[in-house]
A and B are shown apart, each in its own frame.
Chain A
Amino acid sequence: MSATPLQSKGFFRNRTPGDVAFMLVFGTMCVAILFAVVYPVYFVVIASLSNPSLIATGEVWLWPKGVNLFGYEQIFNDARIWTGYGNTLLYSAVGTALNLVVTLPAAYALSRPEFRPRRVLMLFFVFTLFFNGGLIPTYLLYRDLGLLDNWLVFILPPAVNVYNLIIARAFFEHSLPKELFEAAMIDGVSYLQYFAKVALPLSKAIISVIGLYYLVQHWNDFFTGLVFVRDNSLQPLQIVLRDILLSNQAFAGGAGTGGGSGVGYDQQYADQIKYGVIVVSSLPVLVLYPFLQRYFEKGVLIGSVKG
């Protein structure tokens, strides 16, 4: 990590001046891009811990200054955040479970070449990627089904994500050994038995990949709460975040006071709270990221096998 290309041994050996110039320009660009991606995220973290007036005057750059936990105290005492967190955890867990139960068997069935209707069925699924009924018919359908202001709206409509279905199907098609299937069929094993006892245990990779995709999708879902839910007690974390981060709804008073006394926060304190909220809400994803990133990547690669 610390060694830049320029420090590698024998760098100038066998290299033309053009190569050296290329490496210099290119190395600088890489470092600049890395900085541009990582620094904003890092800044949010240090800003959430720093004295807000030092941020406002531009003195916080590399490490937190005037460290205090005021922002986090406010956040941890705010009931809305915890309601949102709890709701999102529930929707993500139940939603992802349903996603897997629905997507994996379907992907497996669609991967069987002898299953003739699979072409038509794939068309049925893929068509929805390019054409849909639009917002209003969807809204009216949910209304007729009683899904408005109902927590199931976070679970049922997104049960199948066609991209994930395609990825899982590509995995079943290319990664499971064909001999295994033939052998099992001769033993008189049914499709359901084969899927449950042979295919699934060999598919931990794809289960983790699409499970993660679904989990992130649920975690970040903002649209559903915005359009289909009015009831605040049902709102997921993203809607609560929007209220705090963007609509500038002040925190309901300092710790414990409640009521209107805290509405007049300085912009600076509001900023610190906002940085803290960003950290708290993104923490699960960012903490798990280093451990899970190889799965994220794998999904793209499996999906691209057939193009």
Chain B
Amino acid sequence: MTESLVAARKKPAAVAQRRPRRDPRLGLGRHVSRYWQLWLMVLPAVGFVGLFMYVPMYGIQLAFREFDFTAGLTGGEWAGLKYFRQFFDSPMFWPLLQNTFVISITTLVVGFVAPILLALMINQIAGGRRKKLMQTATYLPHFISIVVIVGMLQAFLNPSTGLLTQVLAFFGLDGVNLLGDTSAFVPVYVISDVWQHCGWNSIIYLAALSRVDPQLYEAAKVDGANRLQLIRHVDVPSIVPTMVILLILTMGGVLNTGFEKVWLMQNTLNLPVSEVIATYVYKIGILSTQFSYATAIGLFNTAINFVFLIAANAIARRVSNWSLW
């Protein structure tokens, strides 16, 4: 091994020349024959993603066709925009759109800002062990399943026996039912989401903060900056690139978030505010098997997502030098 290492250093040119000569064919054939092992390694992953992600994309045409049981995935007769019109004319359209936007945007904004604040805060902790404890403890809930999170919400917010209900009763708010109240649904959803994911999402900011050059702090202190000013003028600018990247990534999936959690939190009382596009697609498509109609609604959702992604990317390119494409 060491011998060949030395050899490599001595005559790299010879090595570089020998390789192409081994196979004189050109183009794809030569490429495949030289790198067939790499192709072999990447092929299973390509196969799985191709089958389970791209074939359903091909099946999107179902939104423009009549579902035909015998034709399956690609549908039967051409129906044009019939199902999109049906959705736009449906009385559910505006409530669904509104609910989806309210839940998504609130989660996006609060869920984006909270980890930044938490990271700035944890970064202020002096002791290494205390810092570690705080960090480790705050991201623990990230690994609890959504079913359990909603189960905990139901237990804590139970109108008669719940822990939080009792705390509220202690402060004179008797008999509140936060799970059934239409005005409480979004706050409960968002706050529990922040509770669960804030710590986890702050890790990446903390990593960026730990790379800040200590000289910057010293320089700012010499200039008479107090602690808040240090945060504002040294810490915050150093995590802006990370913020931009994460914002774009979350924007791309903004309307995808939370089918499972919304679905689990839904009840007859909060349905007017908790019915979102994703849960409606599930009900229309899977539970009442209107496949074409549900596909059209789903496609509409994906299209809005894409618009968000493009907008976020455009903003990012203007604000910073970073963008997805």
| B interface, size bucket | 35 or more
Cα distance A124–B305 in the bound complex, in angstroms:
18
| A interface, size bucket | 35 or more
Q: Which residues of A contact B294 (CB under 8 A)?
A: 135-136
Q: Does B60 make an interface contact (CB < 8 A)? A: yes
Q: Does A202 make an interface contact (CB < 8 A)? A: no
Inter-chain contact A137/B56, CB cutoff 8 Å? yes
Q: Does B87 make an interface contact (CB < 8 A)? A: no
Known interface pairs A135-B281, A297-B203, A301-B203. Does A282 touch B145 (Cβ–Cβ under 8 Å)?
A: yes
Inter-chain contact B44/A105, CB cutoff 8 Å? yes
Q: Which B112-161 residues sit within 8 Å CB-CB of chain A?
A: 118, 121-122, 124-127, 129-130, 133-134, 136-141, 143-148, 150-152, 154-156, 158, 160-161
Give B138 Cβ to nearest chain A Cβ, in Å: 5
**Which of A110, A241, A245 has most chain B Cβ within 10 Å?**
A245
Q: How many A-B residue pairs have CB under 8 A?
A: 288
- Give the residue name and chain of the A residue nearest to B73 (CB): A140
Inter-chain contact A22/B228, CB cutoff 8 Å? yes
Q: Which A109-162 residues sit within 8 Å CB-CB of chain B?
A: 109-110, 112, 114-116, 121, 124-125, 128-141, 143-144, 156-157, 159-160, 162
Chain A: interface secondary structure? helix
Cα distance A3–B128 in the bound complex, in angstroms:
13
Q: Does B106 make an interface contact (CB < 8 A)? A: no
Inter-chain contact A190/B37, CB cutoff 8 Å? yes
Q: Which residues of A contact B52 (CB under 8 A)?
A: 138, 141, 156-157, 159
Q: Does B240 make an interface contact (CB < 8 A)? A: no
- Give the residue name and chain of the A residue nearest to B62 (CB): A137
Give A240 Cβ to nearest chain B Cβ, in Å: 9
Q: Which of B139, B140, B145, B203 contacts A219 (CB 8 A)?
A: B145
Q: Which A205-228 residues sit within 8 Å CB-CB of chain B?
A: 216, 219-220, 222-223, 226-227
- The contact sample of 11 A-B pairs, CB cut-off 8 A, is A18-B227, A22-B226, A43-B163, A105-B41, A114-B35, A121-B46, A131-B302, A134-B60, A134-B295, A141-B52, A304-B207
Report which A residues bind B (CB closer than 8 A): 1, 3, 5, 8, 16, 18-19, 22, 26, 29-30, 33-34, 36-38, 40-41, 43-44, 47, 52, 55-56, 58, 101-103, 105-106, 108-110, 112, 114-116, 121, 124-125, 128-141, 143-144, 156-157, 159-160, 162, 165, 179, 182-184, 186-187, 190-192, 195, 216, 219-220, 222-223, 226-227, 238, 241-242, 245-246, 267-268, 271, 274-275, 277-278, 281-282, 285-286, 289-290, 293, 296-297, 300-301, 304, 307
